[in-house]
Amino acid sequence: MRILITGAGGMLGTDVRRAAIAAGLDAVALDHSGLDITDAGAVETAVRDAEPDAVINCAAWTDVDGAESALQAALEANRDGAGNLARAAASHGAWTVHVSSDYVFDGTKSEPYLESDPVDPLSAYGRSKLEGELAVAEAAPDSHTIVRSSWLFGTAGKCFPKTILRGASERDELTVVDDQVGCPTFTGHLASALLQLAGDRLPGVVHVAGGGQCSWFELAREVVAAAGLNAKIRPAKTADLDRPAPRPAYSVLRSERTDAPALADWRQGLREFMALEVSLT
């Protein structure tokens, strides 16, 4: 199977490329300098030249707070770029695997969100991701998988555990919110699931996130403990931080589909992440 990976220089894209190579797949990996997905002509050329069986789109605007003041730029990447890729893939007979977000939900549930739950994003970022889902479904109605995931972390880019590790090594005390609950997802695990979905050509929307759930506060404590650091983690409320973008208070994802890939518990993902971090330092 030949895979075209966009956003291959990012955290998730890097791990998808690694997983594809490990699986013996033929991977064409393009970072932003190699392909700007907002350029429809360039996307058409890239897909035509690569002749892939599937396109896995890891390119995205990921600055949640920044999207509040730059919605158009977020939409160009997360909606228009996603649509460009799906359209070009469909025209060349390739399957599209598009990565979306738990932020398409408003967080008012107290039990896990399923694929059939109504969407209602709170933030500009969440709206841009939902618009991307709609653009993909319209551009490739019979040849797409939309994968909603949650709280990604990995070794190849900025992520919450890395921020905590750095802060806990520099300070005696960190303050972390305890009123947002989600599913931390190790990109090394998600990458393999995306390749599986590309091969299976699973249609429609599917939720794929780390097993279990926790708050950012609980995740921070696990990171500090795993690293053997002594920094104290103090809980705080989201409202105290005065962030530009609202976040869903509860965005745990689970799948109601029997054909959905199941990922390991987030703690297993954290253990693998920490082992890799140690080996890279």
Q: What DSSP string describes 119-138?
A: P---SHHHHHHHHHHHHHHH
Chain segment 27-49, per-residue pLDDT in tens: 999 999 999 999 999 999 999 99
Q: What is the dihedral of CA 157, 159, 165, 168, to 10 degrees?
A: 130
Q: Please state, in angstroms and rounded to a whole number, the distance separating the CA atoms of residues 207 and 214.
A: 17
Chain CA centroid to CA 225, Å: 25
Distance (Å) of CA 148 to CA 9, 162, 241, 252, 270: 20, 23, 26, 11, 20
Q: What is the pLDDT of residues 95-124, one digit of tens each?
A: 999 999 999 999 999 999 999 999 999 999
Average pLDDT (132-156) is 97
Going by pLDDT thresholds of 50, 70 and 90, the confidence category of residue 240 is confident
Beta strands (DSSP E) in the chain are: 2-6, 26-30, 54-57, 95-101, 144-149, 152-153, 173-177, 181-182, 185-186, 204-207, 214-215, 232-236
Residue type, 224: V
pTM: 0.95
Looking at 103, 113, 125, 250, which residue is catalytic? 125
Q: What is the pLDDT of residue 256?
A: 98
To the query of whether residue 125 is one of the catalytic residues in this protein, the response is: yes
Taking residues 212-219, report their average pLDDT: 97
Q: Return the CATH superfamily for domain 2-154+185-210+253-260.
A: NAD(P)-binding Rossmann-like Domain (3.40.50.720)
